[in-house]
Amino acid sequence: MKTRPDDIQTSNKSQSLETYDEMFKRLDEKGESAFIPFVVAGDPDFETSLQIVQEMVRAGADALEIGFPFSDPIADGPTIQAADVRALEAGMTVQKGFEFIRKIREFSDIPIGLLVYYNLVYKMGLDQFYREAKNSGVNGILAADLPPEEAADAIKSAKKHGINQIFMAAHTTSNQRLKNISKLAGGFVYVVAVMGVTGVRSQLDDRTVDLIQRVRKHTPLPICVGFGISQPEHVEKVTKAGSDGAIVASALINLVDEHLEDRNLMLKQMGSHCLALKKATKEKLP
């Protein structure tokens, strides 16, 4: 049974984890898209980061995207780069990242996607990384710097361990490449809303709507939009355009950075903003 936001308990009770397919079906039946907040595991420290995730779940997160901190995150802007530095300086490692996910699984069964850079996977060993991910409770893995054309081994390990391999589609992605991504991906297609790296944008590019509609023509998979999604208005816009989910990262990481000296206020602001973002997913058109 899905853990309700107001029903969080930190226990070791085993749960049946919700799959991406189940989540998207459940939300579609309610006329909603998915709210998927992002957090860097261990930012600003292990325990506070875990409390942040609890606030996200309480506020109605439908799935989670967990980033493992990396020293050279080429797809990320300064906000997430700073979060990675804080987490690494606090002692975060890949093994502690998997421990972090296991702690989340003590209070939530919603889908968890892992965002990593492939160096981390390669260093541990492909099969071991995917095995650890599965055992900790990960549903999907997106390696931000792994193109689908070079992902055969990762896809093989993902299938072996029952994990969805997720890929990105951008404005520059050709229709033929979209078709190829659709054949290789699982869970959903991550649509990159803006050109460039992650980061808060005041306005959402109108071309994002066109991109959502173009991707939709070339894949039966759910579509989730990220990069630059920061405000409820952005979530509502991509939802009305036909997106099945909105991924919000830098806007939430900013709340961590702004309130490092007051953790209680940090958590309060995180909960309030997540509530507003989730509310905006309830505008899905039939």
- Do 63 and 113 meet the contact criterion of CB atoms below 8 Å apart? yes
> What residues are paired with 189 via a beta bridge?
167, 223
Secondary structure (DSSP) of 185-233: --S-EEEE-SSSSS---SS--THHHHHHHHHHHH-SS-EEEESS--SHH
In the structure encoding, which two tokens stand for residue 180, read together?
């190829």
Angle formed at CA 30 by CA 27 and CA 32, multiple of 5 degrees: 55
User: In 46-165, which residue ranges form alpha helices assigned H by DSSP?
Assistant: 46-58, 78-89, 94-104, 118-124, 126-136, 152-161
Q: Check 32, 62, 76, 236 and give the catalytic one.
A: 76
Of the candidates 62, 159, 66, the one whose C-alpha atom is nearest the C-alpha of residue 115 is 66
Q: Check 18, 55, 65, 132 and give the catalytic one.
A: 65
d(CA 17, CA 109): 5
> Side-chain half-sphere of 73: how many Cα atoms within 13 Å?
22
Q: Is the peptide bond preceding residue 44 cis, with omega within 30 degrees of 0? A: yes
Of the candidates 221, 237, 219, the one whose C-alpha atom is nearest the C-alpha of residue 229 is 237
Q: Please confirm, yes or no, whether 76 is among the known catalytic residues.
A: yes
Q: Please confirm, yes or no, whether 65 is among the known catalytic residues.
A: yes
d(CA 165, CA 181): 10
Active site positions, annotated:
65, 76
